[in-house]
Structure 1
Amino acid sequence: MSALVWVGRFVFAIIWGAMLANLVWPFPGKGFALFLILLFILIALHLLQLMMFATVYREHIQWRRGDYWQILLFGVIGWLAIVQAQPQRKAQS
């Protein structure tokens, strides 16, 4: 599952790169508007996921400051990485 998490992060990095490239070098035609709308939808959905995961799993999972950013950037893939890291975090504390 660790390899799938890294593949998911790579895919999201490409998606974020395309969305941010659209802001710096606007795509021609209606592509600019489409990617701008998709960027706002992506941010809104990841913020919603962050809010849901943080409220539901706050007592069950050891949270670190970077975990919030991981969910914001990678969505469910970030959450899977956090859940996967839990046994190591509990062993350290």
Structure 2
Amino acid sequence: MGTRTLDRRRLDSPHRNPLLERFGLAARRLREERGLTRDAVGVASGLSPVYIGNIERGEVNPTLLTQTRLATGLGIPLDALVAAAFGDDERDR
């Protein structure tokens, strides 16, 4: 079974989590706003560019340590990354 098959199954999973997708979209937006590639963030964070892509697509649940490394790679504090993903509207729920 090739990688594409595994990725497709992950993308089609009924267990996709909207919180992970929201976090990933915020990470991608912040990376793109800074003009950074996944490779550049990977070098700065010590994370694999493929894994960064998995985070950005909401396919994985990154640990707190991984979130911190990702924020470092983006050149921002972790709380700024979380705020970009969940902002004030999440506090009202």
Tell whether the structures are fold-level matches, with TM greater than 0.5. no
Who wins on radius of gyration, i.e. which is larger? 1
Between structures 1 and 2, the one with greater helix share: 1
Question: Could you tell me the TM-score, scaled by structure 2's length?
Answer: 0.30
